[in-house]
Structure 1
């Protein structure tokens, strides 16, 4: 008998193996490209997908499938959908790095920065930065397209699966737009930050992947609402944890530069609470983070106002709500146990 622990330990390996086969197939369709171009696609898309990531979103696809009664013996129908979500995540990261002007991701040079450096090294004409950003956007769209190719491989209840996958993509794009517009306006408090977090991250990380797996399994009408009752508080808690890590996280663990959210002036729930409590003084500190001394001052402000404690308490409360939703739902025991463990993994202090 396969235990839950063994099944969970094997899931990452199965997802990685399926991603590897899929990416090799798709790379094989690019034989019309020159060596330089193929090398860029492999390095910044295929290898980027395979070498890192926690596979959190694919895990939610799989356990949404199991929660709806899907069989662990019929993985060929759910693994392609899990891979589709991971490829979409790769697209989102590539584009995020361009928008955030990030220099590192997963401990490696970001695509746009690496491509710009290659442009300079080879002495090509034009602006290296513009080349790097433009090419990284195209590589993101390659991952976006490969996500569709992956989903097509599932072959089961494809219409419903595609409808959910489309909603997922619309929500993350709209959420990212709200985030950029809010930062440009320089406005917004807790309510706006919560709305942005729900659509930019929470739904696409937890709720829609669960719904996608549920759809592929043919889940009954009661399953999806039960999954949403768990996913919505957990998705918010996940983003709040990401906000905390974006200010206080260790780059060795996050794979991103230290205090990147402060340096970019992002408007998050965490900084919204600090702004409310510190008034004009707090806004002045948070709006002028340029160097590590400014970072230290902003961190001190967030701690001294109690904003960090407030967010930690909110994460804990949301996690309680997510767990209660699972405890009150009629789900297969293995799926319920796995979802409870995933909740801890998504909101842990090293998430």
Structure 2
């Protein structure tokens, strides 16, 4: 492996394979830091207030996170190109996924009225502290919009032939449409959770989370490698949907039972908003009439206890296990390079059995 060091978030030298997860994240974050520094400088020349707005946006992008989408995209790409292909050319594309993710998080937090993300105030709360709630909401919308524009700009810097970049862009656009569609269904479900179902909750999970967390990043990575591998494309699709759904099911559990000191988000947010997650829909199916009656009048702490008593969390754990098994089976038989297969099998567990 080439020598690599990081000074702050700036990349001095980009690692090549074999590469550690930490080095990959450093490379992606270095790319983001360099790109964002240029964007901030540009807005600074227009008005100092815009520079401050851009710096807050940068801080939200760089504020930790698992960087799971660039990681899946990287291994989707590496599964085809081999261990000696330099990663420099595709780093802008990997970074673009993280900017798109920030767009989704900022808007999702606003819709859910969430107070914290990654242990810090959410975007609308940060701006509300300056000039009030209405300003905070408006500024958060603009933060998300700016991240989406920046994602497009960074993606366009990917050093690939135009025909390859067009395929990458097509998949990227499909991923964005599915994420928005899933988010709409998520918001719709909160308007009448009693009319929702386990099947509808899983549909939301498939579009809101699975497609843009695992499935499409893998396909995105395959396109970065110039695609053309039908058998691998199908394996990535099966793996991506299965592991992506398991990722969301774990989020459902963490949303009720996670430790806020680890998750960085308040416990019980999903119960507070009445979000019809798979966990909640299963609990409603399994609950007795007495439990349902008590649930409606209970506080969040007691609601979590009632859900546990129905056995729904154990069923969700089994759903996670079965989906991880299906994803691992698909990738185990896929025509993918050995190092990528090993990494994706490890990621299937790491992404779905996590404390945050």
CA apart distance, 1:221: 2.3
- Unaligned regions of 5+ residues in structure 2, if any? 3-15
**1:163 and 2:170 correspond:** yes
Cα shift readout 1:166-198 (whole Å, capped 9, x = no counterpart): 000000001000111111122211100000000
Equivalent residue, structure 2, for 1:18:
31
Aligned partner (choices 327, 335, 354) of residue 349 of structure 1: 354
Q: Which residue of 1 aligns with 2:153?
A: 149
The runs of 4+ residues in structure 1 deviating greater than 3 Å are 1-7, 70-73, 279-289
Map of 1:177 onto structure 2: 184
Deviation at 1:73, TM superposition (A): 3.2
Q: Structure 2: how far apart are the matches of 1:141 and 1:72?
A: 37
Mark the CA change 1:38 to 1:284 in structure 2 (over 3 Å): closer, same or farther: farther
Contact 1:67 1:223 survives alignment (8 Å): no
User: Are 2:338 and 1:333 equivalent residues in the alignment?
Assistant: yes
- Counterpart of 2:282 in structure 1 is 273
Alignment partner of 1:139 is 2:143: yes
**Mapped pair 1:55 → 2:67:** yes
Ranges in structure 1 where 5+ consecutive residues have no aligned partner: 120-127
Cα distance in 2 between the residues matched to 1:152 and 1:5:
27
> Separation in 2 of the partners of 1:69 and 1:349?
30
Q: Report which structure shows greater RCO (CA 8 Å, sep ≥6).
A: 1
Q: Distance in 2 between matches of 1:282 and 1:83?
A: 46
Partners of 1:16 and 1:199 lie apart in 2 by 26
Query: Is residue 4–residue 334 contact of structure 1 (8 Å, CA) maintained in 2?
Result: no
Task: State the partner residue of 2:269.
Answer: 260
The match for 2:103 is 91
**Is contact 2:214-2:244 (8 Å) kept?**
yes
Distance 1:75 1:36, change over 3 A: same
1:40 alignment partner, one of 38, 53, 57: 53
Residue of structure 2 in register with 1:198 after alignment: 206
CA distance, structure 1, for counterparts of residue 211 and residue 291 of structure 2: 31
Whole-Å separation in 2 of the counterparts to 1:14 and 1:73 = 15
Relative to structure 1, the CA distance from residue 284 to residue 163 in structure 2 (aligned partners, 3 Å threshold; closer, same or farther) is farther
- 1:338/1:282 CA distance change after superposition, 3 Å: same
C-alpha distance in 2 between matches for 1:237 and 1:258: 20
Q: 1:213 maps to what in 2?
A: 221
Please, which of 118, 124, 129 is the counterpart of residue 112 of structure 1? 124
1:299 to 300, 304, 320: 304
How far 1:29 sits from its partner (Å)? 2.2
Query: Does the C-alpha gap of structure 1 residues 282 and 203 become closer, same or farther in structure 2, counting only changes over 3 Å?
Result: farther
CA shift in 2, pair 1:276/1:11, >3 Å: same
* TM-score, structure 2 as length reference: 0.90
Q: Distance in 2 between matches of 1:257 and 1:74?
A: 41
Return the offset for 1:349: 3.4
What is the aligned counterpart of 1:224 among 230, 233, 244? 233
Deviation of 1:161 (Å): 0.7
Distance (whole Å) between structure 1 residues aligned to residue 340 and residue 102 of structure 2: 26
Structure 1 residue aligned with 2:249? 240
Q: Distance in 2 between matches of 1:285 and 1:98?
A: 30
Change (3 A) 1:336 1:350: same
1:77 positional shift: 2.4
2:17·2:84 contact (CA, 8 Å) conserved in 1? no
CA RMSD of aligned residues (A): 1.8
In the alignment, which residue of structure 2 is the partner of 1:124? none
Distance 1:232 1:46, change over 3 A: same
Aligned CA distance change for structure 1 residues 285 and 106 (closer, same or farther; 3 Å): farther
Q: Secondary structure at the match of 1:347?
A: coil
Deviation per CA, 1:101-122: give whole Å up to 9, x if none. Answer: 1111111111111211111xxx
